Amino acid sequence: MTAITRTGHVRRWMLTPVRISAALSLAWLLAALVPGAPAVAQDGGLTVMVGDKTYQVAGTAVSAKDGGAADEDTVKKARFAARVLDEQILHSDYNKIQFGAANRAVMYADALSERRIEPWRVPLINAAGEAGLAEAKAQFKEWATKLSTNPRELALAVARKDTLDGIAAFRENAVIYRKVTKRNGILTYDEAQRFAQNQAKILRMALARAME
């Protein structure tokens, strides 16, 4: 594929395996984020936790396991947790692949890649003490100057940060996902909230990886 830049030069954009994988991941994620129907009762409903109490959600109905009444705020939180549970964990083909063993191994290996480390951080890893710190400061100034004068390098730096943030979000969501699907744990409202927020970071990561 080719593109014409503002200066009139022709720039070739190669379809590398990483870009193809990132594009497919992005397509799957966008499909997974499309809102669906409200959580539907299955086998008596969906079980979630709000605070330290367990609730059963069947459609729009919310009932406490201990038989107590739930206030309006709790009902909203229980419904939200049930929707995340239903759409993003129990019935998401995308997340089933995303958080599977094969993809987790790829993601965690990618997180350890040297290309994810900013160049000025390398001296801090390779050399201890004042020498490493002095070298890191010098390289940081050079790196910052390059970013301020080179839009491409700046874009790549932003993409690199989005990727690292996305990998951290992926790790947390993988733990939540496996807690429910592998250990039969009950999804809490706080976990559902973090899971949904992390999906946005994972989306940014997919976009960033597509730039590589």
Give the pLDDT confidence of 9-68 residue by residue, as tens digits: 444 444 444 444 455 455 545 554 444 444 444 455 899 999 999 999 998 899 998 877
Q: What pTM, to 2 d.p., does this model score?
A: 0.67
212 vs 137, residue with greater confidence: 137
The answer, yes or no, to whether residue 100 has pLDDT greater than 80, is yes
Lowest mean pLDDT of 51-55, 79-83, 120-124, 162-166, name the range: 120-124
pLDDT at 126: 65
Asked whether residue 189 carries a pLDDT value surpassing 90, the answer given is yes
Q: Which of 99, 92, 82 is nearest to 47 (CA)?
A: 82
From residue 96, how far is each of 57, 92, 106, 178, 206 by CA, in Å?
Answer: 23, 6, 15, 10, 17
Q: What are the residue ranges of helices labelled H in 6-128?
A: 17-33, 72-84, 93-98, 101-111, 122-126
Residue scoring higher pLDDT (138 or 172) = 172
Q: What is the pLDDT of residue 78?
A: 95
Inter-residue contact 170 to 105 (CB < 8 Å): no
Mean pLDDT for all residues in the chain: 77
Q: Which of 23-27, 35-39, 153-157, 184-188 has the lowest mean pLDDT?
A: 35-39
Cα distances (Å, whole numbers) of residue 108 to 3, 24, 139:
33, 19, 27
